[in-house]
């Protein structure tokens, strides 16, 4: 029973964390599922948001403004990845790796050191909630409202005339072009918004954990992917509502699972392996079920 | 004299220029279409038919030559900007529609082709009613399935939808790229009949590429035979009446033999 008690006690903290990470999961979903642009920039945009926000807060900038600047920096990072892919015809994944790698140096330059503590500074949470800022339920309420706002905005956008056009770019680029949609611009903006979401997640994360660190993004992308896959298994992908809800629901479930595994005694060191194995399994399942799947895969690679 | 709806002058496109693999896809192509012309393009594989359509749609930028639509020079406009004048139905039913989006959303994408798109809600009740009306003319029951994903439709249904999407905006130019080639004979006929009805009702200027000689004779008011990136034979309205497949094939061979002899 001890295990369950400690797991139970961790639930609010885990919810708060998963709500923050759900920004990153949304940032992973958008390029992957809406734009058909497998993107890794999140891995660099998340710490970028954290480092920019942390540095600005310690410099005395208003935390809300700091978050906004972090968001803009993330947007620029995503646009860069998409631009590299479109302009130089470099594979999307490689373009993402390039930007992510270069961002590591940029993040270090921005902070000037590897870690900035923020415990003594005002954050959006202390401004909004005062002394109760550190309670998990306060964070859940504030971040939850923000997530709901972002979800609503995304849902509305993807059902608008412009948003429908952006979805067409991922669904069939040839068709989109023939309907007069500027595929390049839509891709750049879409991937930019995705990275802006990841950076926003990073900027909120540093304010809840009380420090910014250059290594804070390590493995966030695989976590986001795992959460997305779980979410889609629950909600499905048939409608845009389900597709937009999947990241948040997936994130909420995924982090509870992780927390449960940890309280059961899974060594934290094994966590990334377990997550990677899980993602691999989920991606491999459809091909394992089909007989002769191996041959098809080889043909796919040749294309 | 009226302005030509489509005019291509000296259209040239050379792939792998200056190498051993140099290939002239379009070689000084001259074509002019009057408003309301329904022009059939035929020719063997590699004659330049697809390059011609791609050059007109903007997918394939010309090396030299000029293209204008309804008097406006579009040579320098890229494909998505030319979409305000041009609608296209592709050979592959998978390309012409967005499979993971609904029928209604696909209709919306087509309605706003080449127009500014706003942040306002897309599939309004008024639009849904209009789309249902347009789709009902197909008699495929698509009007009751506006919220169905297009990927779930058969190839014929998708191609019919593609066609409605293309003609519903009354484009200045309609490009049909072997759009019935991937369908079974019965469905192909259905889509072809729908095509002819729409083209005639709306007086659309149309370019249709086909490998089907019967279609070439039966439909349209002009035939262009292409070879080696140029127009080899042009058959106008009067000549076209009463022409047979055998005549067409003979005209093609006589002309290309004559050119071969000239070259020798």
Range from B71-75, B85-89, B161-165, B246-250 carrying the lowest mean pLDDT: B246-250
Count of domains forming chain B: 1
Partners of B15 in the beta sheet? B23
Q: Is A303 exposed, middle or buried (0-12, 13-18, 19+ CB in 10 A)?
A: exposed
In the DSSP assignment, the letter for residue B2 is P
Q: How far is CA B108 from the centre of its chain?
A: 21
In this prediction, residues B191-199 reach a mean pLDDT of: 93
Range from A153-162, A187-196, B111-120, B250-259 carrying the lowest mean pLDDT: B250-259
The pLDDT of residue A202: 97
Cβ count near A112 (within 10 Å): 9
Whether A158 shows a pLDDT value over 60: the answer reads yes
The pLDDT of residue A299: 40
Question: Distance, in angstroms, between A189 CA and closest chain B CA?
Answer: 15
Residues of A in contact with B149 (CB under 8 A): 238
Q: Given CA atoms B97, B100, B106, B110 in this order, what sign does their dihedral have?
A: negative
Count of pairs with CB atoms under 8 A, one residue in A, one in B: 89
Q: Are B30 and B84 in contact (CB under 8 A)?
A: no
Cβ count near A127 (within 10 Å): 12
In the DSSP assignment, the letter for residue B149 is B
The pLDDT of residue B59: 92
Q: In the predicted model, what is the mean pLDDT of chain B?
A: 91
Cβ count near A155 (within 10 Å): 16
Alpha-carbon distance B223 to A107, whole Å? 64
The DSSP string of B75-142 is: TT--HHHHTTTEEEE-SSTTTSS-TTSBHHHHHHHHHTTTS---SSBSS-HHHHHHHHHHHHTTTSSG
Mutate to test the interface with B, among A154, A156, A157, A164 (most CBs of B within 10 A): A164
Q: Does A163 touch chain B (CB under 8 A)?
A: yes
Alpha-carbon distance B128 to B125, whole Å? 5
Smallest Cα–Cα separation from A107: which of A182, A67, A51, A25?
A51
The edge-to-edge listing of strands for the beta sheet with B38-42 is B86-89, B173-177, B205-209, B38-42, B222-227, B230-235
Give the model's confidence band at A294: pLDDT under 50 very low, under 70 low, under 90 confident, else very high: very low
- Of residues B57, B109, B115, nearest to A168 (C-beta): B109
Chain B: residue nearest A239 by CA? Answer: B101
Q: Does A162 touch chain B (CB under 8 A)?
A: yes
Alpha-carbon distance B263 to B229, whole Å? 16
In the DSSP assignment, the letter for residue B178 is S
Whether A40 shows a pLDDT value over 80: the answer reads yes
Q: Does B120 touch chain A (CB under 8 A)?
A: yes
The pLDDT of residue A159: 96
Q: Are A226 and A143 in contact (CB under 8 A)?
A: no
Task: Give the CATH number, domain containing residue B21.
Answer: 3.40.50.300
Tell me the per-residue pLDDT of B202-253, one tens digit each, with 9 for 90 and over. 999 999 999 888 888 889 999 999 998 999 888 888 788 778 888 888 887 8
The pLDDT of residue A97: 96
Q: Does B183 touch chain A (CB under 8 A)?
A: no
Question: Distance, in angstroms, between A238 CA and closest chain B CA?
Answer: 8
Determine, yes or no, domain membership for B160: yes
Chain A: residue nearest B111 by CA? Answer: A179
Q: Are B128 and B148 in contact (CB under 8 A)?
A: no
Q: Strand B72-73 vs strand B86-89: parallel, antiparallel, or unpaired?
A: unpaired
Instruction: Encode chain A in three state secondary structure.
Output: CHHHHHHHHHHHHHHHHHHHHHHHHHHHHHHHHHCCCCCCCHHHHHHHHHHHHHHHHHCCCCHHHHHHHHHHHHHHHHHHHHHHHHHHCCCHHHHHHHHHHHHHHHHHHHHCCCEEECCCCCCHHHHHHHHHHHCHHHHHHHHHHHHHHHHHHHHHHHHEHHHHHHHHHHHCHHHHHHCCCCHHHHHHHHHHHHHHHHHHHHHHHHHHHCEEEHHHHCCHHHHHHHHHHHHHHHHCCCCHHHHHHHHHHHHHHHHHHHHHHHHHCCCHHHHHHHHHHHHHHHHHHHHHHCCCHHHHHHHHHHC
pLDDT over 70 percentage in chain B: 97
Alpha-carbon distance A28 to A197, whole Å? 9
Residues of B in contact with A168 (CB under 8 A): 98, 101, 105, 109
The verdict on a CB contact (< 8 Å) between B110 and A179 is yes
Higher pLDDT, B263 or A201: A201
Contacts of A146 (CB under 8 A, 6+ apart): A204
Alpha-carbon distance A279 to A261, whole Å? 16
- Of residues A164, A167, A180, nearest to B113 (C-beta): A180
Alpha-carbon distance B77 to A241, whole Å? 36
Give the model's confidence band at B263: pLDDT under 50 very low, under 70 low, under 90 confident, else very high: low
SS3 B263: helix
Q: In the predicted model, what is the mean pLDDT of chain A?
A: 91
Whether A188 shows a pLDDT value over 80: the answer reads yes
The pLDDT of residue A300: 42
Whether B58 shows a pLDDT value over 90: the answer reads yes
In this prediction, residues B54-82 reach a mean pLDDT of: 94
The pLDDT of residue B99: 93
Q: Does A153 touch chain B (CB under 8 A)?
A: no
Whether A223 shows a pLDDT value over 80: the answer reads yes
The pLDDT of residue B93: 86
Determine, yes or no, domain membership for B203: yes
Partners of B12 in the beta sheet? B64
CATH tag for A2-266 (out of 1.10.3470, 1.20.120, 3.90.1200, 3.30.70): 1.10.3470
In this prediction, residues B161-174 reach a mean pLDDT of: 95
Site of tokens 């954990």: A209
How is residue B252 written in tokens? Answer: 């093609």
Determine, yes or no, domain membership for B1: no
Q: Are A207 and A200 in contact (CB under 8 A)?
A: no
Smallest Cα–Cα separation from B53: which of B234, B181, B160, B176?
B176
Alpha-carbon distance B213 to B41, whole Å? 10
The pLDDT of residue B1: 56
Alpha-carbon distance A169 to B230, whole Å? 34
Site of tokens 């509305």: A156
Q: Strand ranges (DSSP E) for chain B?
A: 6-15, 23-33, 38-42, 64-69, 72-73, 86-89, 173-177, 205-209, 222-227, 230-235
Give the model's confidence band at A290: pLDDT under 50 very low, under 70 low, under 90 confident, else very high: low
The verdict on a CB contact (< 8 Å) between B80 and A177 is yes
Mutate to test the interface with A, among B100, B101, B102, B128 (most CBs of A within 10 A): B100
User: Roughly how many angstroms between the first and final C-alpha of chain B, as a whole number?
Assistant: 40
In this prediction, residues B156-183 reach a mean pLDDT of: 94
Whether A291 shows a pLDDT value over 70: the answer reads no
Partners of B235 in the beta sheet? B223
Mutate to test the interface with A, among B53, B117, B171, B177 (most CBs of A within 10 A): B117
Boundaries of every domain in chain A: 2-266, 271-303
The pLDDT of residue A295: 46
């Amino acid at each position: 029973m001890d295990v369950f008690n400690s797991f139970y006690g961790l639930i609010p903290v885990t919810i708060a964390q998963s709500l923050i990470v759900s920004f990153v999961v949304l940032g992973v979903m958008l390029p992957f599922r809406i734009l058909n642009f497998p993107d890794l920039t999140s891995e660099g945009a998340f710490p970028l948001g954290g480092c920019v926000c942390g540095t600005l807060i310690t410099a005395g900038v208003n935390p809300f403004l700091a978050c906004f600047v972090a968001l803009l920096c993330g947007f620029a990072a995503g646009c860069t990845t998409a631009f590299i892919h479109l302009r130089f015809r470099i594979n999307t994944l490689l373009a993402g790796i390039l930007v992510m790698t270069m961002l590591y140096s940029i993040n270090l330059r921005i902070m000037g050191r590897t870690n900035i503590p923020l415990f003594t500074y005002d954050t959006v949470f202390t401004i909004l909630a005062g002394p109760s800022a550190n309670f998990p339920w306060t964070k859940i309420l504030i971040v939850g409202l923000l997530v709901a706002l972002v979800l609503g905005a995304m849902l509305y956008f993807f059902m608008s005339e412009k948003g429908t056009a952006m979805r067409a770019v991922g669904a069939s680029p040839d068709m989109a072009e023939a309907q007069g949609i500027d595929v390049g611009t839509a891709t750049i903006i879409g991937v930019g918004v995705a990275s802006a979401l990841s950076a926003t997640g990073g900027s909120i994360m540093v304010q809840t954990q009380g420090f910014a660190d250059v290594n804070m993004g390590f493995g966030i992308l695989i976590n986001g992917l795992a959460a997305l896959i779980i979410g889609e298994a629950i909600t499905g992908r048939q409608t845009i509502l389900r597709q937009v809800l999947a990241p948040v629901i997936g994130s909420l479930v995924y982090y509870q699972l992780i927390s449960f595994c940890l309280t059961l005694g899974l060594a934290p060191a094994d966590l990334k392996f377990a997550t990677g194995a899980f993602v691999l399994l989920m991606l491999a399942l459809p091909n394992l079920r089909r007989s002769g799947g191996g041959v098809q895969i080889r043909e796919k690679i040749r294309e | 004299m009226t302005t030509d709806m489509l005019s291509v002058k000296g259209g040239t496109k050379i792939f792998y220029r200056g190498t051993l693999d140099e290939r002239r896809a379009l070689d000084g192509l001259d074509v002019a279409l009057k408003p309301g012309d329904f022009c059939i393009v035929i020719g063997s594989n590699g004659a330049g038919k697809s390059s011609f359509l791609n050059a007109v749609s903007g997918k394939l930028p010309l090396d030299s030559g000029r293209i204008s639509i309804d008097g406006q020079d579009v040579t320098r406009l890229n494909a998505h900007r030319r979409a305000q004048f041009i609608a296209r139905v592709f050979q592959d039913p998978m390309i012409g529609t967005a499979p993971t989006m609904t029928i209604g959303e696909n209709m919306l994408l087509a309605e706003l082709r080449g127009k500014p798109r706003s942040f306002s809600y897309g599939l309004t009740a008024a639009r849904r009613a209009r789309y249902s009306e347009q789709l009902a003319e197909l008699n495929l029951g698509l009007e009751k399935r506006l919220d169905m994903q297009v990927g779930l439709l058969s190839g014929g249904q998708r191609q019919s939808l593609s066609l409605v999407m293309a003609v519903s905006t009354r484009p200045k130019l309609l490009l049909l790229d072997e759009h019935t080639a991937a369908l079974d004979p019965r469905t192909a006929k259905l889509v072809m009949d729908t095509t002819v009805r729409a083209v005639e009702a709306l007086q659309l200027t149309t370019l249709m590429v086909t490998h089907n000689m019967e279609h070439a004779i039966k439909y349209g008011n002009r035939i262009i035979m292409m070879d080696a990136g140029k127009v080899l034979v042009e058959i106008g309205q009067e000549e076209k009446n009463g022409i047979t497949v055998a005549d067409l094939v003979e005209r093609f061979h006589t002309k290309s033999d004559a050119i071969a002899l000239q070259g020798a």
